[in-house]
Amino acid sequence: MTRITKKFPKSLLSSLVLLFVVSLAGSALAAAKTHVIINKPGQGPRPMMLDLHGGFSHFGTGLSVGARFSIPIVENGFVPMINNSVSITFGGDFYWVKLDRDKYAAAVGFPVTLQWRFLFTDKLSAFGEMGANIFLHPDLIAGDGWFWYPGSWVIAAIGGRFKINESISLVGRLGNPYSSFGASFTF
């Protein structure tokens, strides 16, 4: 099989980073007008969530798109004095990554993480997550055999979520193997 080659536009990457930073800053300013609930353990809903996101991957520098599904497993997190929760997340990600100077190719990942969320206000929360990513390297997809790239197998990220209404939130993540921005739907 031949690999698809294409140059990755640096201006697109810069635009994505700027959009991510501006969105998080705007969310923080809007959240300043809401009710503080971090000091009220168990306050607010703990729904199942579907995150749809896009961003840039750190493996080989490229783009990523994907989805995550979160299921709450601990109602009031690990610290009983504050408003926090713990969920397990799993999903799928598609990567378009740079392999060498001018070659890009597709890769696929299946992440499973433990997400610890802190609910600061009725609209703003932050989270940290760690887990594993079953990563199918472009060489495996192209039929060239298995390739071990340890950085793509470990997930570690911090992020934030800003609730727009009762069922839609903006969500952003900074971490490994990618950073992303997207929407979260609750049900």
Write the pLDDT tens digit of every residue in 30-87: 545 567 777 788 777 788 999 999 998 876 678 899 999 999 999 888 999 999 999 9
> Structure pTM?
0.75
Beta bridge partners of 115: 87, 129
Beta bridge partners of 104: 98
Provide the pLDDT for residue 2: 47
> 132-170 pLDDT, tens per residue?
998 887 777 666 666 666 667 889 999 999 999 989 999
- Across the chain, mean pLDDT equals 81
> 159-169 pLDDT, tens per residue?
999 999 989 99
> 2-12 pLDDT, tens per residue?
444 444 455 55
Q: Does 117 score more than 60 pLDDT?
A: yes
- Residue 55's closest CA among 137, 153, 176, 169? 176
Ordered by start, the domain boundaries in the chain are 10-186
Average pLDDT over residues 14-30: 59
Name the band, by pLDDT with cuts 50, 70 and 90, for residue 172: very high
- Residue 161's closest CA among 28, 15, 64? 28
In whole angstroms, give the CA distance from residue 142 to residue 37. Answer: 50
> Which residue has 């994505």 as its token pair?
16
| Fold topology of 10-186 | Porin (2.40.160)
**When comparing pLDDT for 12 and 128, which is higher?**
128
